[in-house]
Amino acid sequence: MPTIELSHELIRYIQKLNGSSHEPIDWSDWLPIMGCPVDNNNEDSIEIEVFPDRPDLLSHETMAKASRSFFRKGETKVDLDVNEGEIEVIVDASLAEVRPIIRGAIVRGVDIGADPKQTDDFIQSLMDHQEKLHMTLGRRRRFASIGVHDLSSISPPFRVVTVPSDYSFVPLAEDEEMSIAEILEDHPKGAEYAHLMEGLDRYPVILDAEDRVLSFPPIINGSHTTVNSETRDFFIDVTGWDERSCEACMLLICLSLSERCGQVESVKIIGDGSEISTPRGDHRVHRVPDRLIEKILGLRMESTELAESLVKMGGRLDETRTVTDGPNEYQRWSDCAVGEKEHIVSMPRWRSDIMHPVDIIEDIAIGYGFENLPMQMSSLHIDAVPLKSSQLRRRFGESMRACGLQEVQSLTLSNEQDQFSKMRWGEIAGITAIANPITSEHTILRQSVLPSLLGLLTANRHHELPQKVYELGTVVRDVKNMDRGSWACAEVGSGFSSAKGIAQAVLRDLGADLSDVEFNALEPGFGPWIPGRGASVSIRGELVGEFGEIDPEVGLSFGLKCPIHAGEFDLEMLGKLIPDPVI
């Protein structure tokens, strides 16, 4: 969950700007109810965690607005006031394949603080808010990225175009021009987000009327648009691939600045024969069946109680009525059937987490107070049915434990030497490599489990024998997760016959018809087995695994000098070929 540190002084200042009490807020009264754990609280600040589904609580300003609603200390508005503006953003057709979603807004007359310290705190808070939105709604800038600019330093109208990699401008925090290619390679932000530009031969930039670069989204802004202590008017751009994320990011930045007395002004986005004005500040309307509220919360609520609960959460109950249009009977929880009672609820457009009537009911429960809900057991009974894969894993584990083996769990990370060179196995399928490995021991995702078990035995070779372990683990082949089961026994006096006994026991316990099972000798030098003491296992001609005695040379390559027998099965293939005896 994202963490936000709130300055008590800054919150009081924002509340005062909005005509609310500027007395200290007792956050302990409402943060736990909102599901926001408090990490630290002192006289100067409070550090809290915010659930990922509430990005509207990620700044001082938006948290202050939510608290006013919850404590009923000011007017609750479900709309963001947006004045019609004349500034245009002209989008080139080439952006459709590069970064297709473009949004813009102007906010004028923002109160950035009464003294230099408050101004510095505001600028830092704005930057923190922007980065938290990048990480959450923006999915690390892939879905959406935000640019905030000093409007006085740029000249509208603006254009969004694509340029080649040798195009140059002065990026933020630099004094000299850098080309797009140099930014992606040498600039810290460029290197961090260069992967978002992979495969492109032209790159998006936003220009003003004088052809100065405002932004190279989603990487970095131009240096001359930087917000400073004199900035009162702002231009905001949001670009990305996900329309819902872009709209939410735009609205939350505008909402944050409007809390500081800013006047939001729309921008015309013109391109590809279309024209839209952004942002939209009007609310969204939801239909909530009264039946659904009673089903989930276990109580009948009067309209006044619903209205009070919704107001505390920043919403509004517009109407309670009898349904006259819709299905004659409901097929889904959210259906409003003809003749039943429904509630028409308005919620702010910036509440991007509201996607279903159930989300409205969650807000009603929070506003009403969980402690006020009736104490009763759920009347809905659903019998749990185990997954087929769970049954298979359970029976495999029980069989292994019955053979005296102990379950272990190792890392899915491995390396080419352990997986292939030491084991004398070739690459079985496409390898999934780690882009930035921290250590040479963890460079790929493993394709077999047995090398991990041999590594485990190596780490425990100072303990006395016998050591008998097994693992139900995940391997990755051709970028697909697969389940495999493996065992390894380091013990004196056992060998191929012991390995075959374990293999037969597993197949029997899984319900295999042993008349369908074939054991075939493996070619000498194939795999980690001693020549003549390794075998493959097939069921009706389909390969499901192999077992045998580990060649001493293989053991020595892992640092092991004791006799080892082992094996590995493809659990998914076993599940397909062996009927489940429980069903």
Q: What is the pLDDT of residues 391-422, one digit of tens each?
A: 888 889 999 999 999 999 999 999 999 999 99
CA 307 → CA 269, 343, 346, 366, distances in Å? Answer: 37, 10, 11, 13
Contact 475, 446 (CB under 8 A): yes
pTM: 0.69
Band of the pLDDT at 17, cuts 50, 70, 90? confident
Mean pLDDT of the 1-8 span: 79
Rounded CA-CA distance 261/14 in Å is 9
Rounded CA-CA distance 447/458 in Å is 20
Q: What is the pLDDT of residue 410?
A: 92
CATH code 3.30.56.10 region(s) in the chain:
284-372
Q: What is the pLDDT of residue 34?
A: 61
Q: Is the peptide bond before 279 cis (omega within 30 degrees of 0)?
A: yes
Band of the pLDDT at 236, cuts 50, 70, 90? very high
- The CATH H-level superfamily of 388-577 is Bira Bifunctional Protein; Domain 2 (3.30.930.10)
What proportion of the chain, given as a percentage, has pLDDT over 70? Answer: 94
List Cβ<8 Å contacts ≥24 apart for 536-545. Answer: 537/503, 537/507, 537/569, 539/512, 539/574, 539/577, 539/578, 540/516, 540/577, 542/573, 542/577, 543/570, 543/573, 544/569, 544/570, 544/573, 544/574, 544/577, 545/503, 545/569, 545/570, 545/574
> What would the CATH number be for the domain defined by 82-278?
3.50.40.10
Rounded CA-CA distance 408/449 in Å is 11
Q: Is the pLDDT of residue 538 over 60?
A: yes
Band of the pLDDT at 555, cuts 50, 70, 90? very high
Longest CA–CA span in the chain (Å) reads 87
Q: What is the pLDDT of residue 7?
A: 85
Mean pLDDT of the 272-276 span: 88
Q: What is the pLDDT of residue 451?
A: 94
Q: What is the pLDDT of residues 485-501, one digit of tens each?
A: 999 999 998 889 999 99
Q: Is the pLDDT of residue 523 over 60?
A: yes
Query: How many C-beta neighbours within 10 Å does residue 117 have?
Result: 11
Q: Is the pLDDT of residue 105 over 80?
A: yes
Band of the pLDDT at 558, cuts 50, 70, 90? very high
Q: What is the pLDDT of residue 13?
A: 86
Nearest to 237 by CA among 210, 273, 259, 207: 207
Mean pLDDT of the 454-480 span: 92
CATH code 3.50.40.10 region(s) in the chain:
82-278
CATH code 3.30.930.10 region(s) in the chain:
388-577
Q: What is the pLDDT of residue 446?
A: 93
Q: How is residue 510 annotated by DSSP? A: T
> What would the CATH number be for the domain defined by 284-372?
3.30.56.10
- Class at the top of the CATH hierarchy for domain 3-71: alpha beta
Q: What is the pLDDT of residue 286?
A: 93
